[in-house]
Amino acid sequence: MTFDYDLFVLGAGSGGLAASKRAASYGAKVAIAEQDLVGGTCVIRGCVPKKLMVYASHFSHFYQDAVGYGWSPVEATFDWSKLVQAVDGEVRRLSRLHISFLEKNNVELFHGQARLVDDHTVAVDDRTFTAEKILIAVGGEATKPQIPGIEHAITSREVFLLPLQPKRLAVVGGGYIGTEFAGVFNGLGTEVFQVVRRGLILRGFDEDLREEVQTGMVKKGVNVLSDTTIEKIEKVPEGVRLVLKGAKDNSLVVDTVLYATGRSPNLEGLGLETAGVETAKGAIVVNEWSQTSQPHIFALGDCTDKVNLTPVAVAEGRAFADTQFGNKPHHISYENIATAVFSQPEACTVGMTEIAANAQYGEDGVKVYRTRFRPMIYALPNVDEKILMKLVVHKETDRVLGAQMVGKDAAEIIQCVAIAVTMGATKKDFDATMALHPTSAEEFVTLP
Ligand code: NDP
């Protein structure tokens, strides 16, 4: 049987782009379909525009801190619409760049909504194509709980293009997105209320890290409403009124309410049943080779709901292409994946948390090294912000099982620590590394 393509990819996000280019580099005839801008969540309404907005929000502190270094105070004003326009311009530039990469790699791009017609046929709007292998990389979408008035709430899909900067914003959720956007808008001068249904944000992260980030955010001015849920949202002339349960006050009026309560795979209308692709808990079921229940159909990235991070989708995509088209079979490891929350203060982690290590090796089997200090940059402006660093070490082997950091440049520093952790470095290896002075990072190699 002959097919139109060796590989047809549904979704031109991080995973789909990586897989299609790598497969084409091995000589495969590849097509990719995308209904939105090329680039996916990360480029269009995720990591990239978010990080740009995080940078934008830092400037208010830079200006204040500069005074401690002898600069005269700056009367700076901020224009939200200029930021939105600049960020949108960058997103579109990157999207065009990704299209040019596809062209250079001879990957054919189809704009339109793709679905499976049968296990070897893909329809893009009203055109159909056959393919020997199919890869589903359609990503995920923000979800909102079904409470009365939820239609008045926005998600991370709309936040980047808000026409006006909210004066008062409620952010619901204490995960990555909620915590990052609470920091962004607070830094830009919005009055922010982060509504969290537990005592602490960032469930699943190291306990000291959670505490440090939350305390740091509150110090910077974010109103964290812990142990609070929203029962109802009402439109009122001043904006929206949130009916709260658990908070001191039982209602809160804000201009905008942003829900960041999780994301789920984008599987609606994909035709998975018709093609015999199994799902479970709303996600496509795959094995370690990204293979679905239909052996020649594969899926990766957020639509499989394994580890929903861009670099993971990219690595899965490349491993899939190497295996299926490059005669270099391998699959990725999900251990020691470094992850950062671009909150303010920033938080980053790799490997095991203290709790996870204790659960695996017992408290007596684990040694935790911890330090907390004010980085040098904050001395002259007298900023009360600390850095927290932790190493979790296996006593028997001296191996560093995990590292956590909160504070300035945490993500940049942990990325390099992650190499050592992935290589199985011991605490002695850290200690034998000459310190680079004066830096904050040197504390990781001088922990007593
Ligand atoms: P998360 O799963 O990280 O966090 C969701 C938050 O919403 C949690 O605090 C959760 O509380 C809370 N929540 C869930 N349901 C409700 C509800 N019904 N009412 C009130 N609160 C609720 O999701 P995000 O949307 O923040 O992010 C989605 C994913 O995107 C992340 O998990 C991550 O994989 C990825 N991402 C990664 C980023 C990065 O790498 N920097 C940045 C942004 C996103 P509880 O803890 O109690 O369940």
Model pLDDT for residues 345-403, shown as the tens digit of each residue: 999 999 999 999 999 999 999 999 999 999 999 999 999 999 999 999 999 999 999 99
Distance between CA atoms of 62 and 337, rounded to whole angstroms?
31
Distance between CA atoms of 88 and 91, rounded to whole angstroms?
5
Between the CA of 361 and the centroid of ligand 1 the distance, in Å, is 29
Over range 300-306, report the average pLDDT. Answer: 98
Q: What is the pLDDT of residues 147-196, one digit of tens each?
A: 999 999 999 999 999 999 999 999 999 999 999 999 999 999 999 999 99
Give the nearest ligand 1 atom to 302 CA.
34
Between the CA of 178 and the centroid of ligand 1 the distance, in Å, is 7
| Beta carbon of 176 within 6 Å of any ligand 1 atom | yes
Query: Any idea which residue has 């590989």 for tokens?
Result: 7
| Cα→Cα distances 86→49, 157, 345, Å | 10, 17, 24
Q: Among 261, 312, 414, which residue has the most ligand 1 atoms within 8 Å of its CB, making it the best to mutate?
A: 261
> Does residue 85 have a pLDDT over 90?
yes
What is the average pLDDT value for the chain, to the nearest integer? 97
Over range 33-38, report the average pLDDT. Answer: 98
8 Å CB contact between 408 and 375 = yes
- Output the CATH code of domain 150-261: 3.50.50.60
> Does residue 247 have a pLDDT over 90?
no
Over range 248-274, report the average pLDDT. Answer: 96
Which residue lies with its CA nearest to atom 24 of ligand 1?
262
| Beta carbon of 261 within 6 Å of any ligand 1 atom | yes
Tell me the CATH architecture of domain 5-142+264-325: 3-Layer(bba) Sandwich (3.50)
> Does residue 420 have a pLDDT over 90?
yes
Over range 322-328, report the average pLDDT. Answer: 98
Residue in 135, 164, 156 with CA at minimum distance from that of residue 48: 156
- Output the CATH code of domain 345-445: 3.30.390.30
Q: Which of 120, 152, 296, 437 is catalytic?
A: 437
| Beta carbon of 309 within 6 Å of any ligand 1 atom | yes
CA atoms within 13 A on the CB side of 40: 28
| Beta carbon of 260 within 6 Å of any ligand 1 atom | yes
Give the nearest ligand 1 atom to 177 CA.
26
Q: CATH 3.50.50.60 in the chain, residues? A: 5-142+264-325, 150-261
> Does residue 286 have a pLDDT over 90?
yes
| Beta carbon of 339 within 6 Å of any ligand 1 atom | yes
- Residue 444 DSSP SS3: helix
> Does residue 1 have a pLDDT over 90?
no
Over range 109-128, report the average pLDDT. Answer: 97
Residue in 48, 267, 38, 45 with CA at minimum distance from that of residue 157: 45
Which residue lies with its CA nearest to atom 15 of ligand 1?
261
Q: CATH 3.30.390.30 in the chain, residues? A: 345-445
- Is 296 catalytic? The answer is no
